[in-house]
Amino acid sequence: MLQGFIPMFLMTFCICLFIVLMQFLWRYIDELVGKGLEISVIAELFFYAALTMVPMALPLAILLASLMLFGNLGERFELTAMKSSGISLIKVMSPLIVLISAISIGAFFFQNNVLPKSQVKMWTLLFSMRQKSPELDIPEGVFYDQITGYNLFVEKKNRETGVLYDLMIYNMSSGFNNSNIILADSGKMSFTVDKKHLFLKLWKGESFENLRDQQISRGNVPYRRETFDEKEILIPFDANFNRMDDSGMRNQYVGKNIAELQHTIDSVNVRIDSIGTQYGQQLLEIDYVGIDKYKNYYEQGKMVKAEAPDYKIDKLVDVDSVLRGKNLQERQRIVSYAIERATQSRNEFEFKSYSFADDKKTIIRHEIELQRKFTLSFACLIFFFIGAPLGAIIRKGGIGMPIVISVFLFIFYYIIDNAGYKLARDGRVEVWEGIWASSAVLLPLGIFLTYKAVNDSAVFKPEVYLDWLKKITGRSILRRIEMKEVIMDDVVPSEAVDKLLHLKQSCIGFLSRYPKMQSYYAYWMSGYDKGALSLLSAELESCVEYLGNSDRQLVINKLMDYPVLRSLFFYYPVNNRILSFVIMAVFPIGIAGYLIGTHQQKALKKDIRTIMSVSDEIMNMYEEKSE
């Protein structure tokens, strides 16, 4: 089993890793193209990116490999032979369970030890590439603005000799008002030895430069014009690839292991608690009406803070009357002072709230990364217990159906995982709820498929679901009866008529119990009588079985007009009265079930009336024959 699984797993892992790497390349292609990067730098980036993408490729590879392996075994009937010899599916899977458990343990150590370092290297390289200047390739007839502070225009260039013709250089590095413009008939461009400057050698041209006076003047600005036969200029342009220091990225949550993440979370929590206590004390000490709540005094040479004595007044003061007693200037001063105090307090508390929000965001980011150290290992186990039993059930190997099912399941897993991550990141749900949501959704599926595969249950047989759907929706079932070649018990006409009369009376009795459509309360509390309907259905089948021995083709044909009375869910929805009351109280669900149920009950009454009509026609056949 291991000999077949390991090569298939390695193959699917390489394919999945290649696919996610192509997705990474497509996402960051703009950061790489046109920068003149060396092959070694790009290869290094892809190496660290491949390590970073392992958590995405590994579960998909396990799912696909297990699905293909057990699908091939089922398609070649090897699983059937193993089960016939007394080997259970769990025993067949046991070597792979040990292997997947070892892979899961290795994935945990990879997440904790290798992934942080690879993420630091990858993001440092990517940010360094973003800062690198683009490769110098000046097009013809278009202004080139990729050099900071400069615009270059070249009408035509000779690619063999490297000579540029009809050049225009706009130097705006000192500001637009102090710009310098150079026109030249031709020129050549090259880099300095250290590749930090662009060297231009120009022939036959002119340069224009504004001359700004030290004093502000609203008159015309003088400029300087220079004509040259040959001119050399240097333009700052760093063409080197400068690798950033990775210490800053190492301090981020992506570059920490479990111990470092937990240490950061504890440290930030302690800081939040201490700052919160300090802010709370400051709120208590605010003098809202100009009266201090605490006073300072010295005791044995040390300053001691104590609560100020309570100030009491004989009667309440009408603040509005006091304010009206002031002159206009005093009132304006008081109001301005109050507004200033309120604005200052608001700004101060807003700044403090931003500080708290940043700390809370830091904690959430670190908690998310901490939880993700464990989810990969669990996802590997879940996808194995989905892929292996699913392959044994569908019995389809190769790269057709397994790939379709694997991609569908992984997309479903990825959507839930990404949605849970965003909810946790934004603080809408607890971190553990958002990060473990995808595993919690797929775990029941893995348990269900494993149980069904071990017990050889029919999971993907359409007949099972069609019968269940017919039972729920009430889709009609056609009755098929053929004339028997050998009849053991002949039909006695008088006995047949008696059976048909009794069947008709039973139908009339059932319809008389429910002459009208049931009310909302009656439907959910009782519904139709299940026992009475079962007796009527049994009597109908007994009558059809007896008349099926008839030697008359017309009777046999007419028996096929009898409908089949089914025991549908909507005839009597809930047996538990407490549960019925709860569903009835939840009006949107209750009214929807009531409308569907009454429609099915109406169809049942129509079937019963059809039974009465067909019974009358068959009785007329026997009566005409007797006459």
Examine the domain organization and report whether 509 and 609 are in the same domain: yes
Q: Are strands 294-299 and 223-236 parallel, antiparallel or unpaired?
A: unpaired
Tell me the per-residue pLDDT of 6-47, one tens digit each, with 9 for 90 and over. 888 898 899 889 988 998 888 888 777 766 677 888 888 889
pLDDT of residue 394: 77
- Residue 286: domain span: 271-360
Cα gap 390→401, rounded to integer Å: 11
Bigger pLDDT: 37 or 108?
Answer: 108
Residue 317 lies in a domain: yes
Cα gap 383→449, rounded to integer Å: 11
Residue 241: pLDDT over 70 = no
Q: What average pLDDT score do residues 553-582 get?
A: 77
Average pLDDT, the chain: 80
Bigger pLDDT: 299 or 446?
Answer: 446
**Which has the closest alpha carbon to 487: 431, 434, 550, 534?**
550
Cα gap 429→435, rounded to integer Å: 10
Q: Which H/E stretch holds residue 273?
A: helix 258-285
Examine the domain organization and report whether 278 and 214 are in the same domain: no
Cα gap 121→126, rounded to integer Å: 9
Residue 413: exposed, middle, or buried by beta-carbon count in 10 A (0-12, 13-18, 19+)?
A: buried
Tell me the per-residue pLDDT of 145-193, one tens digit each, with 9 for 90 and over. 777 778 888 888 887 777 888 888 888 877 666 778 888 888 888 777 7
Bigger pLDDT: 122 or 302?
Answer: 122
Residue 532: pLDDT over 70 = yes
Q: What average pLDDT score do residues 263-277 get?
A: 83
Examine the domain organization and report whether 232 and 168 are in the same domain: yes
pLDDT of residue 211: 66
Token digits of residue 67: 């699905």
Residue 353: pLDDT over 60 = yes
**In the chain, what is the greatest distance between 2 CA atoms, to the nearest angstrom?**
134
Examine the domain organization and report whether 230 and 307 are in the same domain: no
Q: 156 φ, ψ to 5°?
A: -155, 150
Examine the domain organization and report whether 200 and 339 are in the same domain: no
Q: What average pLDDT score do residues 415-440 get?
A: 89
Only one residue has tokens 């709540």, namely: 293
Q: What average pLDDT score do residues 79-102 get?
A: 82
pLDDT of residue 104: 92
Cα gap 402→12, rounded to integer Å: 12
Cα gap 70→79, rounded to integer Å: 8
Token digits of residue 377: 């290992």
Count of domains forming the chain:
3
Examine the domain organization and report whether 514 and 602 are in the same domain: yes
Residue 95: pLDDT over 80 = yes
From 298-302, 380-384, 488-492, 528-532, the region with the lowest mean pLDDT:
298-302
Residue 490 lies in a domain: yes
Q: Are strands 163-171 and 144-147 parallel, antiparallel or unpaired?
A: unpaired
pTM exceeding 0.85: no
Examine the domain organization and report whether 173 and 291 are in the same domain: no
**Which has the closest alpha carbon to 132: 25, 27, 201, 42?**
42
